[in-house]
Chains A and B, each alone.
Chain A
Amino acid sequence: MRHILSILIENEAGALSRVTGLFSARGYNIDSLTVQTTEDVTMSRMTIVTHGSDDIIEQITKQLNKLVEVVKVIDLNEADHIERELMLIKVRATGKERDEMKRMADIFRGRIIDVTEKSYTIELTGPGEKLDAFIKALDPAVILETVRTGASGIGRGERILKI
């Protein structure tokens, strides 16, 4: 099953490699990983999307907690949560396609952030499935380039990950 883990980790050199090294050394999967410092710059917040049986997810969280630099780990799946991913997608947009592409972007609440004679670059935010749906809705031939950040997640309501 897919799980989304939120990790608070010391913002120190090499901390990221300890996390990714742990996943590869123990044969766990990383579907996506995002990381950036928090409002407290000594600390980073990482979101890892992974999948595995409940036993494996339990081991992953325990092993992550064992890393000296990891402050806290929560499995967002354990309660209501929100996740968002950002995609920048460059598409061919010439002639008739230009209007059509603009409409598509509007339908998905995307924004066109760069325009050339032949192309648009569209910014699209949402859960991963929405970004997938957008890609599916396009003719593969018009897609020039995509870049996705992977999911960032946060608990709903009062659920807070902080020290």
Chain B
Amino acid sequence: MEISGAEIVTRCLQEEGVEFVFGYPGGAVLEIYDAIHKQDFFKHVLVRHEQAAVHAADAYSRSSNKVGVALLTSGPGATNGITGIATAYMDSIPLIVISGQVGTPMIGSDAFQEVDMVGCSRPIVKHNFLVKDVRDIAATFKKAFHIATTGRPGPVVIDIPKDVTIHKTKFEYPQSVSIRSYNPPVKGHPGQIKKAAQLLADAKRPFVYVGGGAVLGNASAEVTELVKLLNLPCTNTLMGLGALDGTDANFVGMLGMHGTYEANLAMQYCDVLIAIGARFDDRVISVPNQFLSQAKKIVHIDIDPSSIAKRVKVDVPIVGDVKSVVSDLVALLKETGQRPNDKALAAWWDQVNEWRKPNSLLYTQDSEIIKPQFVVQKLWEVTDGQAIVTSDVGQHQMFAAQYYKFRRPRQWINSGGLGTMGFGLPAAMGAQMANPYAQVACITGEASIQMNIQELSTCKQYHIPVKIINLNNRYLGMVRQWQEFFYGNRYSESYMDALPDFVKLAEAYGHIGMKIEKPADVEPALREAFSEKLKDRLVFLDFITDQKANVFPMVQNGKGLNQMDLPEHMRGMQQVPFENNRDYGNLC
């Protein structure tokens, strides 16, 4: 029996086990929407802006390890999705974005709502397709899902002209796929893994640096086993948070521009570094030559060869799936019994613990003004550290990363690479869809939340009971912080004037709003929002927070990890190792 291209699209999604499609209809995809109307394999979620469709599909994927699917119409629908696609691309999220296109005879004629989506999205996708023949739809979907989910994952765009969705053909979904030009690696080279084990055995100051690749590669258990087996100090990047339990004794906090004192110094002064699914980006190591000014041997495990030796040269590159490589490394270490020298490791731990002592995340909460850090800490307590937390971008994102101790992978969802404001609320929707029984909190700011505030309406329609934690300091906080530090307190365009009354706004959308102005009210408000009574409701908590709070520690652009700006109680602290006759080798 012949069916239309539009029906084939829905059947392909069914074959791939898709549960949700986030989208917005329009002229070029009307056939597909008609086919959606006639099926009940998957549910369609109607967003209020296409950017949100892609973010929601993205977070659906991040929080569940399934593939997110977004459906956009041609032209403005497709271009509205671009920010979402770029966000997913920068963080390597497997995503299928289906965009409508004008009919094939019209392509190139500047037709109504025509845009060259394959061209527009080319630099921000893992791959993209323009399907010009109805007989190619099924094979294209099979390839697209395969490409999106294997190797280093990423978004794949499928652009389908309207006439192709109308034409009919027989539907047969390919059982397997083979692309001769695409063979991502899996196993790491055994010789390289041996070298890595030997380096670890010879290490005096070993350190493990875990990035988003360990979360996406589901390697959390293997990473934890490695860290525990050798008793190594370990840091997670912003994208890697949760890969090692944030409350684990071996965890020294996040590293990077706003990393902890101990994580940054351990990163700088270690002698053997094991990088797992991380890419040494500028917000993590700052400048490569500063980072390498202390000699260290680096093992870099990554599925993407182009991530290796991109910013820093490494001694032992291992290309492969991080889960497979780390598990092989652990097996080898168990077999050979290779361990770092006990005494040296103990001395290194003494040093790390000394760095921990002053607590670089310390802040003081007075009885008058709510500190943003305090809200995140209380959120952690109230949700037992178990909530899925999404965030937007800015100070609140850093506070969330620093003070919410993520217990497991896929619990922390943020736009790390692209830094997309407006990501938080649609991401919370996607995460809640994927995890209907989980508590989902969106930590945001009064500026970021307004970038996709219209999604409050989607949340109403689909009864998405996320809790919005709005850290409202009436400023673009991170911009203000940089203006304070580097632009002589000239707060150019960073003050958020004419803010809406968020309580009324939430109520206007049919939700519950709360305004919290006193530190003493923070915990009760959170308890109420997360209570059994409100578990089916979206609650918008508008916390009026300290306007002057800054994120510390901070590694300024161009500075080394050992040249942090520290919080007040640590100013003037010596940022080099205390030598104290400890034998952990020559430090410089």
Interface set of A (CB-CB < 8 Å, partner B)? 9-10, 13-14, 17-18, 21, 25, 55, 58-59, 62-63, 65-66, 68-71, 163
Residues of chain A contacted by B123 (CB below 8 angstroms): 21, 25
Q: Do the beta carbons of B130 and A68 come within 8 Å of each other?
A: no
Q: Does B567 contact A (CB under 8 A)?
A: no
Q: Do the beta carbons of B306 and A62 come within 8 Å of each other?
A: yes
Grouping DSSP codes into helix (H, G, I), strand (E, B) and loop, the A interface class, with mixed when no group exceeds half, is helix
Q: Do the beta carbons of A62 and B126 come within 8 Å of each other?
A: no
Complex-state Cα separation, A37 to B454, whole angstroms:
50
Q: Does B118 contact A (CB under 8 A)?
A: yes
Complex-state Cα separation, A25 to B119, whole angstroms:
13
Residues of chain B contacted by A70 (CB below 8 angstroms): 181
Residues of chain B contacted by A14 (CB below 8 angstroms): 118, 122, 130
Q: Do the beta carbons of A13 and B181 come within 8 Å of each other?
A: no
The chain A residue sitting closest to B179, CB to CB, is A68
Known contacts: A14-B130, A17-B122, A18-B122. The answer to whether A68 contacts B309 by CB under 8 A is no
Complex-state Cα separation, A17 to B119, whole angstroms:
9
Known contacts: A14-B118, A25-B123. The answer to whether A66 contacts B304 by CB under 8 A is yes
Which residues of chain B (167-221) have a CB below 8 Å from chain A?
Answer: 179-182
Residues of chain A contacted by B130 (CB below 8 angstroms): 13-14
Q: Do the beta carbons of B181 and A59 come within 8 Å of each other?
A: no
Contact with A along B278-319 (1 / 0, CB 8 A): 000000000000000000000000001110011000000000
Complex-state Cα separation, A163 to B306, whole angstroms:
22
30 A-B pairs with C-beta separation under 8 A:
A10-B181, A13-B130, A14-B118, A14-B122, A14-B130, A17-B122, A18-B122, A21-B122, A21-B123, A25-B123, A55-B309, A58-B309, A59-B306, A59-B309, A59-B310, A62-B306, A65-B306, A66-B304, A66-B305, A66-B306, A68-B126, A68-B127, A68-B147, A68-B179, A68-B181, A68-B182, A69-B181, A70-B181, A71-B180, A163-B180
Contact with A along B499-538 (1 / 0, CB 8 A): 0000000000000000000000000000000000000000
Residues of chain B contacted by A63 (CB below 8 angstroms): 306
Shortest Cβ distance from A42 into chain B, in angstroms? Answer: 9
Residues of chain A contacted by B127 (CB below 8 angstroms): 68
Shortest Cβ distance from A57 into chain B, in angstroms? Answer: 12
Complex-state Cα separation, A69 to B181, whole angstroms:
6
The chain A residue sitting closest to B151, CB to CB, is A66
Shortest Cβ distance from B61 into chain A, in angstroms? Answer: 19
The chain A residue sitting closest to B118, CB to CB, is A14
Complex-state Cα separation, A58 to B309, whole angstroms:
9
Shortest Cβ distance from A40 into chain B, in angstroms? Answer: 11
Shortest Cβ distance from A73 into chain B, in angstroms? Answer: 11
The chain A residue sitting closest to B307, CB to CB, is A62
Which residues of chain B (103-139) have a CB below 8 Å from chain A?
Answer: 118-119, 122-123, 126-127, 130
| The 4 nearest A-B residue pairs measured at CB | A62-B306, A71-B181, A68-B127, A25-B123
Complex-state Cα separation, A66 to B130, whole angstroms:
20
Residues of chain B contacted by A69 (CB below 8 angstroms): 181
Residues of chain B contacted by A68 (CB below 8 angstroms): 126-127, 147, 179, 181-182
Complex-state Cα separation, A68 to B178, whole angstroms:
12
Shortest Cβ distance from A38 into chain B, in angstroms? Answer: 14
Residues of chain A contacted by B126 (CB below 8 angstroms): 68
Complex-state Cα separation, A163 to B178, whole angstroms:
15
Complex-state Cα separation, A63 to B308, whole angstroms:
11
Shortest Cβ distance from A24 into chain B, in angstroms? Answer: 9
Residues of chain A contacted by B181 (CB below 8 angstroms): 9-10, 68-71
Shortest Cβ distance from B289 into chain A, in angstroms? Answer: 13
Shortest Cβ distance from A72 into chain B, in angstroms? Answer: 8
Shortest Cβ distance from A89 into chain B, in angstroms? Answer: 35
Shortest Cβ distance from B178 into chain A, in angstroms? Answer: 13
Shortest Cβ distance from B97 into chain A, in angstroms? Answer: 16
The chain B residue sitting closest to A62, CB to CB, is B306
Given A55-B309, A62-B306, A66-B305, 15 other A-B residues pairs in contact with their CB atoms under 8 A: A10-B181, A14-B118, A14-B122, A14-B130, A17-B122, A18-B122, A21-B123, A59-B309, A59-B310, A68-B179, A68-B181, A68-B182, A69-B181, A71-B181, A163-B180
Which residues of chain B (326-346) have a CB below 8 Å from chain A?
Answer: none
Shortest Cβ distance from B450 into chain A, in angstroms? Answer: 31
* Most chain A CB inside 10 Å of its own CB: which residue of B147, B305, B306, B310: B306
Complex-state Cα separation, A68 to B180, whole angstroms:
9
Complex-state Cα separation, A70 to B180, whole angstroms:
9
The chain A residue sitting closest to B122, CB to CB, is A21
Q: Do the beta carbons of A65 and B305 come within 8 Å of each other?
A: yes
Residues of chain B contacted by A10 (CB below 8 angstroms): 181
* Most chain B CB inside 10 Å of its own CB: which residue of A58, A59, A68, A70: A68
The chain A residue sitting closest to B147, CB to CB, is A68
Shortest Cβ distance from B515 into chain A, in angstroms? Answer: 45
Residues of chain B contacted by A18 (CB below 8 angstroms): 122
Shortest Cβ distance from B161 into chain A, in angstroms? Answer: 13
Residues of chain B contacted by A17 (CB below 8 angstroms): 119, 122
Residues of chain A contacted by B309 (CB below 8 angstroms): 55, 58-59
Residues of chain B contacted by A9 (CB below 8 angstroms): 181
The chain A residue sitting closest to B152, CB to CB, is A66
Residues of chain A contacted by B118 (CB below 8 angstroms): 14
Complex-state Cα separation, A59 to B312, whole angstroms:
12
The chain B residue sitting closest to A70, CB to CB, is B181
The chain B residue sitting closest to A163, CB to CB, is B180
Complex-state Cα separation, A66 to B126, whole angstroms:
9
* Most chain B CB inside 10 Å of its own CB: which residue of A62, A66, A69, A70: A66
Residues of chain A contacted by B304 (CB below 8 angstroms): 66
The chain B residue sitting closest to A10, CB to CB, is B181
Shortest Cβ distance from A130 into chain B, in angstroms? Answer: 35
Complex-state Cα separation, A69 to B179, whole angstroms:
9
Complex-state Cα separation, A71 to B182, whole angstroms:
7
